[in-house]
C-alpha cells in the first residue's frame, strides 16, 4: 500500500468556497425575485379561479399530491442563470429554493405577529393559533417539500372562525382566513425582496475584503519567491 503526499493550499480552498458561495447567492437572488413577484400572485389567482369555476365542488377533486391548487411552474430551477457561460445550476438549487420559500413564509408570519402585538387583535389570535398548530408539521425538521404551499392552502380553504376580542366580555369577531393569507403573501414579498438585496451584496461587498486578503497573500508569496 502506497502513501501519497499532497500539498494543500488553504488559499485555493478559500477561492473555491467563495466561487460556490457566489453562485448560490446569485441563484438565491434570482429565485427570491421569482418568489416576490410571481408566486404569491399565482397562489391567489389560482384560488380565486378555483372558487369561480365550479364553486367549492371542484375543491373536493384533489390532484395526486393532495392539493387543491395547481403547482407553481418551477422549470426555471433546472436552467443556468446565464446559458451563455455554459455552467449548470448548483446541484441543490431546487432544494435550496424550497427551503427559501419555507423560511420566507415563516419569517413573514413572525413579522405579522410582531406587528400586531395586541393580544386582543382577532386576526393575530387566529394566525398565532393556526401557526402554532402546524409549527412541527410544516416548519420543523426534515420533511416533505412544498410545506409552505401546504400551509397557505390549508389557511385559504379553512372556514371562517369566530374569535373573542376581549376575554370575558363575550365580544366576538369573524376572521376571514383568506384575508390573513393575503397579508402573509404581501409580507412574504417584502421579506423576499429584502433577502434578495442581501444576496446581491455578497459578491460585491461581503467578499471584497476576503479577496483583498487573498491578493495580499499572493503578492507576499510572489515577493518571497523572487
What is residue 58's predicted lDDT score, i.e. its pLDDT? 45
* Least confident among 151-155, 156-160, 182-186, 216-220: 216-220
What is residue 83's predicted lDDT score, i.e. its pLDDT? 59
Average pLDDT of the segment spanning 161-177: 76
SS (H, E, C) the chain: CCCCCCCCCHHHHHHHHHHHHHHHHHHHHHHHHHHHHHHHHHHHHHHHHHHHHHCECHHHCCCCCCCCCCCCCCHHHHCCCCCCCCCCCCCCHHHHHHHHHHHHHHHHHHHHHHHCCCCCCHHHHHHHHHHHHCHHHHHCCCCCCCHHHHHHHHHHCCCCEEEEEECCCCEEEEECHHHHHHHHHHHHHHHHHHHHHHHHHHHHHHCHHHHHHHHHHHHHHHHHHC
**What's the whole-number average pLDDT of the chain?**
83
What is residue 176's predicted lDDT score, i.e. its pLDDT? 92
pLDDT in tens, 59-112: 444 444 456 888 888 877 777 776 555 557 778 888 999 999 999 999 999 999
What is residue 55's predicted lDDT score, i.e. its pLDDT? 59
Q: What percent of the chain has pLDDT over 90?
A: 39
pLDDT in tens, 118-138: 767 888 889 999 999 999 999
Average pLDDT of the segment spanning 35-54: 88
Does residue 53 or residue 172 have the better pLDDT?
Answer: 172
- Whether the predicted pLDDT of 141 surpasses 60: yes
Amino acid at each position: 500500500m502506497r502513501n501519497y503526499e499532497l500539498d494543500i493550499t488553504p488559499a485555493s480552498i478559500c477561492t473555491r468556497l467563495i466561487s460556490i458561495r457566489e453562485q448560490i447567492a446569485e441563484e438565491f437572488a434570482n429565485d427570491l425575485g421569482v418568489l416576490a413577484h410571481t408566486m404569491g400572485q399565482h397562489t391567489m389567482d389560482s384560488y380565486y379561479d378555483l372558487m369561480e369555476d365550479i364553486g367549492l365542488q371542484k375543491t373536493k377533486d384533489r390532484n395526486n399530491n393532495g392539493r387543491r391548487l395547481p403547482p407553481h411552474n418551477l422549470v426555471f430551477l433546472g436552467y443556468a442563470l446565464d446559458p451563455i457561460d455554459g455552467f449548470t445550476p448548483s446541484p441543490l438549487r431546487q432544494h435550496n429554493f424550497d427551503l427559501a420559500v419555507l423560511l420566507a413564509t415563516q419569517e413573514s408570519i413572525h413579522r405579522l405577529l410582531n406587528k400586531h402585538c395586541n393580544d386582543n387583535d382577532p386576526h393575530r389570535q387566529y394566525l398565532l393559533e393556526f401557526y402554532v398548530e402546524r409549527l412541527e408539521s410544516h416548519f420543523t425538521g426534515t420533511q416533505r417539500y412544498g410545506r409552505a404551499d401546504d400551509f397557505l392552502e390549508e389557511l385559504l380553504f379553512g372556514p371562517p372562525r369566530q374569535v373573542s376580542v376581549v376575554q370575558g366580555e363575550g365580544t366576538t369577531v369573524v376572521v376571514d382566513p383568506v384575508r390573513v393569507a393575503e397579508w402573509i403573501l404581501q409580507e412574504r414579498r417584502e421579506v423576499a425582496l429584502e433577502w434578495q438585496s442581501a444576496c446581491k451584496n455578497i459578491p460585491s461587498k461581503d467578499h471584497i475584503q476576503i479577496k483583498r486578503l487573498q491578493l495580499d497573500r499572493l503578492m507576499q508569496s510572489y515577493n518571497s519567491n523572487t
